[in-house]
Structure 1
Amino acid sequence: MRISHEWIYQSIHADKHSGGDPRRSLRCRKGRRKRYGSHDRRGIIPERVSMDERPAIVNAKRRFGDREGDTVIGKGHRGALVTLVERKSPYTVIGSLEHEKADAVPKTVTEALMPYKERVRTITYDNGREF
């Protein structure tokens, strides 16, 4: 015996219009379908500026001193790093965070870039919400 998907939908539709409960046709007869995945509960960054709005000279990658910053969280949240990658060259400065709080990032970035303070022009972050 062969049953097409159209026949299944037609029988559910006919049952619904004759007063039946369409939830009985679901696999587990529950009122709602299971939602897979989850939404992000960390909120929206206030006063966020898009990476597309950075100056054209920075996007061109023609000068040294423009860096992109990001945080890397360790497995099981057992540590974190701040990476600052030069946009023109692959030169990277990495700093270790003392604790996983947002207020530790500026201090770590300042300490990591202190030897290069004459050569730092801009730092662009990816607006991630790691913490």
Structure 2
Amino acid sequence: MGTPPVPVMKVRTFWQFKADGMSTKVAATRAGFSERYGRYLVTKAGGVIPTSKFPDDFSMRISPETIYQSVYVLPKGELKREVKRLRTGRAVRMPHRQTDVRRQIVPEELLITHRRPDIEDRALPGDWEGDCILGKDGLSQIGTLVDRMTRYAILLHLPNGRTGEETRDAMVAAIGDLPAEMKRSITWDQGSEMRGAYRDIAIAHSLKVLQPTFTVGTRNQRAHQRASAAVLSQGH
């Protein structure tokens, strides 16, 4: 067996599809959504994917782009119904933020690479991991602080927004009554909620506020924010 050809699909409008006739490949892709395995196909990162009805036909191999085109080429009303079958339920693709934007949030000296080695051992309490959890449609938010040793959590109430000032004031109020030994350091997630607030909190409580590449608090919280990828049901 030779190397399967890379599938190519030209961008066409719905009316061009209707005038030219829907190809067998696109028709099979759309039928797959009705059979509920389209959810799985769109989660594949790349390469070519054999359709369930044509496992040995290289001409019927489809790429993620073929799947997206077969969905997004539809009129608005039909698209709204079809995107419900996608795992994310989104009608458009989400743009990826440039990484250099996040690097500008905190100065170099406050990055996690400068965190004390003893913090990694979790031998003493007082070293916190922080993150901001968003509600539905990003219209509400709440901050969290999780102690690395004890896993004790503190909630930061943010009723009026998640700007640096709002987050700073909520954090200062939340940890203000803690004993000094419980205020050793705070490592906050890469979000923009702490923009401009790192030094203010550090000065107010004589602790070091750092930014990581990915926090333990973030890992624990984001695991529950989005459903895991769907898997094929039996028979597909």
Change (3 A) 1:28 1:82: closer
* 2:167 alignment partner in structure 1: 105
Matched, 1:122 2:185: yes
Larger relative strand fraction = 1
In the alignment, which of 115, 120, 141 is matched to residue 54 of structure 1?
115
Task: Report the residue type matching 2:107 in the other structure.
Answer: E
Structure-2 separation of matches of 1:92 and 1:38 = 32
* Contact 2:164 2:192 (8 Å CA) reproduced: no
Task: Report the residue type matching 2:97 in the other structure.
Answer: D
Change (3 A) 1:95 1:26: closer
Aligned ranges for residues 1-131 of structure 1 at < 5 Å? Answer: 5=4, 26-28=9-11, 37-40=94-97, 43-44=101-102, 45-48=105-108, 49-100=110-161, 101-118=163-180, 119-129=182-192
Residue deviations 1:22-75 (CA, integer Å, cap 9, x gap): xxx743369xx88x5522169332425433431101111100111111111111
Structure-2 separation of matches of 1:83 and 1:112 = 10
Which structure 1 segments of 5+ residues have no match? Answer: 10-24
| 1:104, distance to aligned residue in structure 2 (A) | 0.6
Structure-2 separation of matches of 1:92 and 1:5 = 52
Larger relative helix fraction = 2
Secondary structure of the corresponding residue to residue 155 of structure 2: strand
Scaled by the length of structure 1, the TM-score of the pair is 0.66
Greater RCO (Cα-Cα under 8 Å, separation 6 or more): 1
What fraction of aligned residue pairs are identical, expressed as a percent?
A: 22
Change (3 A) 1:29 1:73: closer
Which structure 2 segments of 5+ residues have no match? Answer: 14-64, 70-92, 195-236
Secondary structure of the corresponding residue to residue 129 of structure 2: strand
Change (3 A) 1:69 1:46: closer
Residue deviations 1:107-126 (CA, integer Å, cap 9, x gap): 00010112214221111112
Change (3 A) 1:40 1:52: same
Task: Report the residue type matching 1:129 in the other structure.
Answer: S
CA-based RMSD of the aligned residues comes to: 3.3
| 1:77, distance to aligned residue in structure 2 (A) | 1.9
Number of positions where the alignment pairs a residue of Structure 1 with one of Structure 2:
110
Task: Report the residue type matching 1:106 in the other structure.
Answer: R
* Contact 2:167 2:193 (8 Å CA) reproduced: no
